[in-house]
Structure 1
Amino acid sequence: MLGLLAPDRGSVEIDGQPWAGLTARRKRELRRHIQVIYQEGWCTTSATGCW
């Protein structure tokens, strides 16, 4: 959604519309309402967590 990497599979929908089908202008408008959540990969897959 940030455009840092090109997707190689899957899809994202915003309000029922595919992200890939939105215009650049509409994507800019929506990005104002999207928050990035950074995660450490091991913590998200570990049953015991990282703490």
Structure 2
Amino acid sequence: MSTVLVLNSSALGGASVSKQLAEKAVAQLRAQDPHLRVVPAISARRRSRI
């Protein structure tokens, strides 16, 4: 099983092109490896709410 760390941050949110590219890359990796483990990075803003 492979693991990928996804770092995604943008002031544009869902309109961010880089975020869309990262999501597409993860989808392609999952297609190649159905057991892929995706670890999302927790942003400082989200961490303060935990």
TM-score range, shorter chain: under 0.3
Greater per-residue strand proportion: 2
Greater per-residue helix proportion: 2
Q: What TM-score, normalized by structure 2, do the two folds share?
A: 0.27
Instruction: Report which of the two structures shows the higher radius of gyration computed on alpha carbons.
Output: 1
**Higher RCO (C-alpha under 8 Å, 6+ residues apart):** 2
Q: What TM-score, normalized by structure 1, do the two folds share?
A: 0.27
